[in-house]
Amino acid sequence: MESYHYDFKRWSELGTSELYQLLQLRSEVFVVEQECAYQDLDGQDFEALHLTARAPTTQSLMAYARVYTTKIDEKEYAAIGRVCTAKKYRGQGISRQLMERAIQFINEKQELPITVSAQAYLEVFYQSLGFETVSEPYLEDGIPHIRMVREK
């Protein structure tokens, strides 16, 4: 399996080109491909850590996720969101590796249970990473989602 370059950065550490690329990828996947008009820029990016996966030779942005903390029912969680992989890089295990990096980082640095608001069709993928479904399906931006949690 090819070695990809993974990097965590705070908002203030992102260069304008990096920021453009990650917002472009999020828009390509969530707005264009999934035909979902929603407010992507939700204010969470300022506090989040931004995880990117880049091709080793071209440094093209292949996949992205953001990690932040949140409270749900008075309990603090690390959250992983906006997980996406560029269409031309899908089917290579990059999303799994990206999630494994995010989980490893949280377990080492934050020691919190992890929550995701997963698109319902990805339930088995997230279960394979140790997440358990903790909600009934619900609509988020017109797409069926489920809340899933991975304990420490």
> What's the pLDDT tens digit per position in 92-139?
999 999 999 999 999 998 889 999 999 999 999 999 999 999 999 999
On whether the pTM is more than 0.85, the answer is: yes
Per-residue model confidence (pLDDT) at position 2: 57
By DSSP bridging, strand 143-150 and strand 138-140 are antiparallel
pLDDT at 30: 83
> Per residue in 22-59, pLDDT tens?
999 998 988 788 777 777 778 889 999 999 999 887 77
In degrees, rounded to 5, the angle at the alpha carbon of residue 107 between the alpha carbons of residues 103 and 109 is: 115
Rounded-to-integer distance, Cα 15 and Cα 72, Å: 32
d(CA 95, CA 52): 11
Domains parsed from the chain with CATH numbers: 5-150 (3.40.630.30)
Q: Are 144 and 36 in contact (CB under 8 A)?
A: no
54/5 Cα distance (integer angstroms): 5
